[in-house]
Amino acid sequence: MPKKQEVKAGEVSVAANAYTDPNLSIFVDRPVYQQEDLNRDTLYAKPPKGTFGDKIHRCCKISPYKCVRRTFPILKWLPNYQWKKWLFGDIIAGLTVTVMQIPQGMGYGMLGGIPPICGIYMAFFPVLMYAIFGTSRHLSTGTFAIICLMTGKIVTQYGTIEILQNGTRIAHDDLHTGDQIRTNIQVAITVTFVVACIQLVMFCLRLGIITTMFSDTLIKGLTCATSCHVVISQLKDILGLKLEKRRGYFSIPLTIYDVGANIQSAHIPSVIISAVTLLVILINNFGVKKLMAKMTKIPFPIEIFVVIVGTIFSYFCKDAFDVLNDIETIGNIPTGFPAVYFPDFTLIPEIFLDCLVIAIVSYAITMSMALLFARKCTYEVDANQELLALGVSNTVGSLFSCMPTCASVSRSLIQQSVGGSTQLTSLVSCSLLLSVLLYLGPAFESLPKSCLGTLIAAAIWPAVMQFTLLLKYWKLSKWDALVFLAAYLLTLFLDIGLALGVGVVISLFGIILQSYRPYSCLLGNVPNTDLYLDLERYKAVQEIPSIKIFHFSGILNFSSRQVFMESFIDQLGFNPAKILRRRKYAEEHNLPFEFESLMMKYIIIDFSSLTSIDPAGIDLMRNLAKDLEQLGISLFIVGCSGPVFEKIARCDQIEHSHSEFILFPTIHDAVVFAQGRDQVSTNIKNFQSKT
């Protein structure tokens, strides 16, 4: 490996290769090209555009076999599965993820306002569907705290766990769809169904690209603030308090106020259980985990360990200690598969906007994790296919008492780190969870809610600490820091849907603002080379006599032409139109007039970083060239990309005009051309003076 050395330029340091051979040189001997000459010599031709019929023809050429394989990615990787290489790692990863799914499923199920067993259902039915339809090899889908909390807010607002009818308490199983009162599960599955429909419509419309609207800073701001919601929502269970759940705006500060006002009513046994649980987790995170990492990739299953110990302690000690009888447990956990429920269609208009936000956020989080693993492990994921996978997963999940599914950050990272290579990991996990659904569920009925609440808070705490990223974003980009802070504060105090909308608007406004503040500068020549660099940044470069080289990046259209002219005037130091008006006024009134920039004979505009131009931009260049020509200055434009050149040529053709500027492929072509023209003029003058 060649060594790296630090080369400092002002406050910026970059790594440079210490083994650049000084004997290597570049020698190029070619004629000076204008753009049209180069196009003619290199047989330039505009690529043909495909017609709508061509697109239809390409679609019809896709064989049914390829279509089925594209729709069901499992048919691609399963026949090519490397059993000897991947099987052991996938089994270990499946076992590890299962151990995490059980406590997280129960905890996040309660977070969503539905029975804990529903979280186990989410770890089975949607995960099974994603293994068939998903394109990411390493995602662990199912419950995710943020999505469960967002769903829980809707459930709390519209649902009721149990209802009194004629003085008799009835469960949700006794309700009919036509009843005006909806159970929590009915609301939850309706949310899941609507989210599924939205994601399937997005798939049909090929809207996978929508994730490009959500920057990493926006997603991190949303997840960080929502994680705070999760932690604070668990305080009542951690402390054993009986508090009414706050809803709506400013629910976080109001909940904190309620906890502080009722802290004297905290249930001491619940507080002790929470403290012991937290202590065990801290010992694992700062001690056991590091020791285990030296011996094996498989982490110690602290979550399931705490669940088992807490359940055993609660079950056997309740009879021995009367004080423990008041500890609230998670309660009844049924066995077997759940009954099939259908969504309440009358609720859809009321919850549609909330479901739209959940659909977008869950997809954005899932896709960001999928891209992370795809880059890390060098494979590809299909953004639109991920929409189909989530849509199908949620459609099936809505039939079996599930909330909307999403990729879990923690489980996915663990799945990949312990050796999981494919979605066979998910199939292994589903197989193991089947025994929990059929037989082992009631074993966890005695688990204290304080223990489970502490587990949830500890698991989500790293996401809460992402707020410290604000300082990093502030140093890297003030605009990114603003997006993060806006998303964080709006989610924390108001509403995640509002935060998502405002965050997208701020991000788009930042992009628009950047287009109005393009990078421009004057370029100078590195002596004895064809390199041209920013005069302000590179002190060793030199200006070429009688030539000014102006670099402009970004876009040049009707909205940015004013910005272009302001940059041009600022860098060149004069306004051609204003000079002409002054000269005309001087001529009309017989006044003396001097133009200080007469020593400037050529202006070269570097468009190598110009992404697009429209007729308004081309018209601006024509007028600028005419104004400069009246001042005795020639305008050259260099470095136009194919689309920019084609737009200029098309405007000339349609308007039957010829641009006053000359196009060159490179800056050096234009410089040599200008110097050659100057030399010819000088020779003519010398010859005329001699004769």
138: which DSSP letter?
S
Find all residues with CB under 8 Å of 627, minimum gap 6, and list them: 576, 577, 580
Regarding whether 543 and 655 lie in a shared domain, the answer is yes
Regarding whether 302 and 189 lie in a shared domain, the answer is yes
Regarding whether 370 and 459 lie in a shared domain, the answer is yes
Pick the last residue of a domain from 480, 513, 546.
Answer: 513
Regarding whether 191 and 267 lie in a shared domain, the answer is yes
161: which DSSP letter?
S
The kind and range of the H/E element at 201 are helix 184-204
Pick the last residue of a domain from 513, 533, 548.
Answer: 513
| pLDDT category of residue 201 using cuts at 50, 70 and 90 | very high
Regarding whether 490 and 637 lie in a shared domain, the answer is no
Q: What are phi and psi of 15, to 5 degrees?
A: -80, 135
Domain-located, residue 611: yes
pTM of the full structure: 0.74
Which tokens go with 569?
A: 């005037």
245/30 Cα distance (integer angstroms): 78
**Axis-axis angle for helices 145-158, 216-233 (nearest 10):** 60
Regarding whether 469 and 592 lie in a shared domain, the answer is no
Say how many CA atoms lie within 13 Å of 547 toward its Cβ. Answer: 26
Pick the last residue of a domain from 513, 547, 573.
Answer: 513
Characterize 650-686 residue by residue with b for buried, 16 or more Cβ atoms within 10 angstroms of its Cβ, and e for exposed: ebeeeeeeebbbbbbbbbbbbbbbbbeeeeeeeeeee
Share of the chain above pLDDT 70, in %: 87
- Residue range 308-339, pLDDT digits in tens: 888 888 877 766 555 556 777 777 778 888 88
Domain-located, residue 47: no
Mean pLDDT of 527-544: 90
How many CB atoms lie under 10 A from the CB of residue 562?
11
Phi-psi region of 444 (alpha: psi -120 to 50; beta: other; left: phi over 0): alpha
Domain-located, residue 57: no
Biggest CA–CA distance in the chain, Å, is 124
Q: Is the pLDDT of residue 495 over 60?
A: yes
Domain-located, residue 552: yes
- Residue range 240-290, pLDDT digits in tens: 888 777 777 788 888 888 888 888 888 888 888 889 888 988 888 888 777
The kind and range of the H/E element at 269 are helix 268-283
203/212 Cα distance (integer angstroms): 15
Domain-located, residue 546: yes
Domain count, the chain: 3
- Residue range 89-129, pLDDT digits in tens: 888 888 888 878 888 888 888 888 888 888 899 999 999 99
Regarding whether 315 and 298 lie in a shared domain, the answer is yes
Regarding whether 660 and 547 lie in a shared domain, the answer is yes
Domain-located, residue 86: yes
208/383 Cα distance (integer angstroms): 5
Q: What are phi and psi of 149, to 5 degrees?
A: -65, -45
Regarding whether 409 and 541 lie in a shared domain, the answer is no
Which of 402, 366, 454 is closest to 109 using CA atoms? 402
Domain-located, residue 295: yes
| pLDDT category of residue 178 using cuts at 50, 70 and 90 | very low
End-to-end alpha-carbon separation of the chain, Å?
Answer: 67
List the domain range (segments joined by +) for residue 604: 520-690
Domain-located, residue 53: no
Regarding whether 425 and 502 lie in a shared domain, the answer is yes
Which tokens go with 388?
A: 């189909």
CATH code, 637: 3.30.750.24
- Residue range 127-158, pLDDT digits in tens: 999 999 999 998 989 988 888 888 988 998 88
Regarding whether 340 and 404 lie in a shared domain, the answer is yes
pLDDT at 53: 65
Regarding whether 283 and 148 lie in a shared domain, the answer is yes
